[in-house]
């Protein structure tokens, strides 16, 4: 099966039957106890969502249908021109998320081609809308607006309004919207970036022969062939940047269901809002500084710290700087996690990217500081004693690597996160509709109910 939709359709009967059997026979099985503490602390530890494709082990980190990042790096197909030397394609990851299977080279190529064909054009009203937005509007606001505006194109919303589809068929139209949405993200991203840095003039063009990440890089003006190559990158450095986008977008797709962007997309979609509205809402959550915006906060933090210390190798000065931040009741961005209790393997993957290119990164003091910090900050946070996870999370490394290649519009970095994150929650949205997951509606408690439970 070379076509993703056909591969999903093939997997449906078994999965529907399995879930139905579990629902029928095991609905009374207890998952855990919800405590008052959980109700008052953002539902921590409360296992109450169904999520198909990714799970997060507090110690091992993310698994994609059971596969670690290292497995994915070994097994998922990359771009043909890299001859096995580059990073895997996010398209290959999308196939894995949607089907649970590792795609073949042919399946991955086919999906690359399908996304390129679907993404070749941005709806003209969305293009005009983006052009009309203030150049200094927050890039994530622009992304959310662009996505919400595409609800005009939603095939699902149209079919639903016509009353022409039954519940079992919803997924087919949701799938079409999801693929169309993911496909246009490079164009939306390029448009937002060109507004920011090039007065709205395109920085590159979309190449239908190329993969999704290449087109993101190209529309950011970062490729030798298809763009203005704003930073005059050599062919090798430009290839590295394309591979950075592939790596970054391949590993940021999902982080199980409870994180703000994924959960929001799932929640809004559960009201049968179409994928454009659902993911636009997810993007609004990703824009928060405790979530996706943390990568940008890290870059700012590293720039400020580098200016403050005599040398990034001066451990004592770095430690003092961290204490100054903590003592003023601020967080150290890029450290800590709500679920993980070990260094984030996604951070390690980004770090490995720099270690494979020692010449490229050796003279960038901020990148060196990022590395040094990953050894110093955990000690300081442990001593500080509050943070449950004192280790670096993914945002510790990602932003500074984009910055290194010249993407220095800090607020924009999260837009690239937004491209990647679409793949996980939107795959889930397809499966939500396949499996008939109903509207989400937890029960809330007021203070008097809590006091009654506590017998106070
Ligand atoms: N620096 C200083 N204090 C921190 C901290 C950090 N990096 N991380 C957690 N803490 C503090 C919390 O603020 C909390 O303090 P409080 O008791 O006074 O409210 C205490 O430690 C316990 O928090 P903890 O249970 O460890 O963490 P939470 O689940 O509440 O929060 C986040 C998790 C990620 C929000 C938190 O660690 C944080 O603010 N980190 C910095 C921002 C960041 O890097 N975010 C990106 C996270 C992630 F990768 C993503 O979702 O994108």
Q: What is the pLDDT of residues 270-309, one digit of tens each?
A: 999 999 999 999 999 999 988 998 889 999 999 999 999 9
Of the candidates 378, 370, 271, 380, the residue with the CA atom closest to the CA atom of residue 325:
380
User: Is residue 393 lining ligand 1, measured as CB closer than 6 Å?
Assistant: yes
Residue nearest to atom 32 of ligand 1 (CA): 337
What 3-state class would DSSP assign to 294? helix
CB 61 within 8 A of CB 68: yes
pLDDT bin (cut points 50, 70, 90) of residue 82 is confident
From CA 341, how far away is CA 57, in angstroms rounded?
9
Q: What is the pLDDT of residues 140-157, one digit of tens each?
A: 999 999 999 999 999 999
User: Is residue 395 lining ligand 1, measured as CB closer than 6 Å?
Assistant: yes
Give the whole-number percent of the chain exceeding pLDDT 90: 93
CB 423 within 8 A of CB 250: no
CB 200 within 8 A of CB 217: no
Point out the ligand 1 atom lying closest to the alpha carbon of residue 290: 45
Quote the pLDDT of residue 118. Answer: 97
Test site for ligand 1: of 264, 322, 336, most ligand atoms within 8 A of the Cβ: 336
Alpha carbon of 317 to ligand 1 centroid (Å): 23
Alpha carbon of 392 to ligand 1 centroid (Å): 11
Quote the pLDDT of residue 428. Answer: 98
Q: Where are the domains of the chain?
A: 294-404
CB 219 within 8 A of CB 227: yes
Least confident span in 273-277, 316-320, 341-345: 341-345
295 vs 139, which has greater pLDDT?
139
pLDDT bin (cut points 50, 70, 90) of residue 194 is very high
Alpha carbon of 311 to ligand 1 centroid (Å): 27
The structure tokens listed for 198 are 């090039």
Please state, rounded to an integer, the average pLDDT across all residues of the chain: 95
From CA 342, how far away is CA 337, in angstroms rounded?
9
Quote the pLDDT of residue 106. Answer: 96
Q: What does residue 417 show for φ and ψ, rounded to 5 degrees? A: -60, -45
From CA 355, how far away is CA 452, in angstroms rounded?
56
pTM as predicted: 0.95
User: Residue 63: beta bridge partners?
Assistant: 55
User: Is residue 335 lining ligand 1, measured as CB closer than 6 Å?
Assistant: yes
Query: What is the torsion angle, in degrees rounded to the nearest 10, for the CA atoms of residue 260, residue 265, residue 266 and residue 272?
Result: 150
What does 374-408 look like in DSSP terms, one character per residue?
HHHHHHHHHHH---S--SB-THHHHHHHHHHTT--
User: Is residue 139 lining ligand 1, measured as CB closer than 6 Å?
Assistant: no
From CA 362, how far away is CA 353, in angstroms rounded?
13
- The count of other CB atoms within 10 Å of the CB of residue 86 is 18
- Range 294-404 has CATH code 3.40.50.10320: no
Angle between helices 4-26 and 90-99 (to 10 degrees): 40
| Residues 6 or more apart whose Cβ sits within 8 Å of residue 277 | 148, 151, 268
Q: Which residues carry out catalysis?
A: 291, 337, 395
């Amino acid at each position: 099966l070379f076509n993703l939709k056909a591969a999903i359709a093939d997997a449906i009967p078994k999965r529907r039957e399995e879930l139905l059997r579990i629902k029928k026979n095991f609905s009374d099985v207890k998952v855990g106890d919800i405590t008052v503490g959980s109700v008052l602390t953002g539902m921590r530890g409360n296992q109450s969502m169904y999520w198909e494709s990714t799970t997060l082990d507090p110690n091992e980190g993310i698994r994609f249908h059971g596969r670690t990042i290292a497995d994915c790096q070994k097994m998922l197909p990359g771009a043909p021109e890299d001859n096995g030397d580059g990073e895997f394609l996010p398209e290959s990851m999308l196939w894995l998320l949607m089907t649970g299977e590792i795609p073949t080279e042919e399946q991955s190529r086919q999906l690359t081609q399908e996304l390129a064909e679907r993404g070749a054009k941005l709806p003209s009203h969305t293009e005009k809308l983006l052009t009309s937005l203030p150049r200094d509007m927050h890039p994530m606001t622009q992304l959310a607006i662009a996505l919400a505006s595409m609800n005009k194109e939603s095939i699902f919303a149209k079919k639903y309004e016509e009353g022409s589809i039954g519940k079992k068929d919803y997924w087919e139209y949701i799938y079409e919207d999801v693929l169309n949405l993911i496909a246009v993200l490079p164009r939306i991203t390029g448009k937002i970036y060109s507004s920011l840095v090039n007065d709205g003039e395109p920085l590159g063009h979309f190449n239908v022969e190329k993969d999704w990440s290449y087109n993101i890089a190209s529309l950011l003006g970062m490729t030798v062939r298809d763009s203005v190559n704003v930073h005059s990158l050599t062919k090798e450095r430009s290839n590295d940047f394309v591979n950075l986008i592939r790596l970054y977008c391949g590993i940021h797709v999902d982080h199980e269901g409870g994180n703000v962007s994924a959960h929001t997309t799932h929640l809004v979609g559960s009201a049968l809002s179409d994928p454009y509205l659902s993911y636009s809402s997810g993007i609004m959550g990703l824009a928060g500084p405790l979530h996706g915006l943390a990568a940008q906060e890290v870059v700012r933090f590293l720039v400020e710290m580098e200016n403050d210390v005599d040398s990034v190798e001066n451990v004592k000065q770095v430690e003092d700087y961290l204490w100054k931040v903590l003592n003023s009741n601020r967080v150290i961005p890029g450290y800590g996690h709500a679920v993980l209790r070990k260094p984030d393997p996604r951070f390690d993957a980004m770090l490995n990217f720099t270690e494979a290119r020692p010449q490229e990164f050796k003279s960038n003091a901020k990148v060196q500081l990022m590395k040094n910090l990953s050894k110093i900050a955990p000690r300081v946070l442990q001593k500080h004693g509050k943070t449950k996870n004192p280790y670096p999370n993914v945002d510790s490394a990602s932003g500074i690597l984009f910055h290194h290649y010249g993407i220095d519009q800090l607020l924009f970095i999260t837009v690239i996160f937004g491209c990647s994150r679409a793949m996980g929650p939107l795959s889930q949205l397809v499966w939500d509709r396949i499996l008939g997951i109903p509207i989400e509606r937890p029960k809330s408690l007021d203070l008097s109910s809590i006091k009654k439970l506590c017998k106070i």
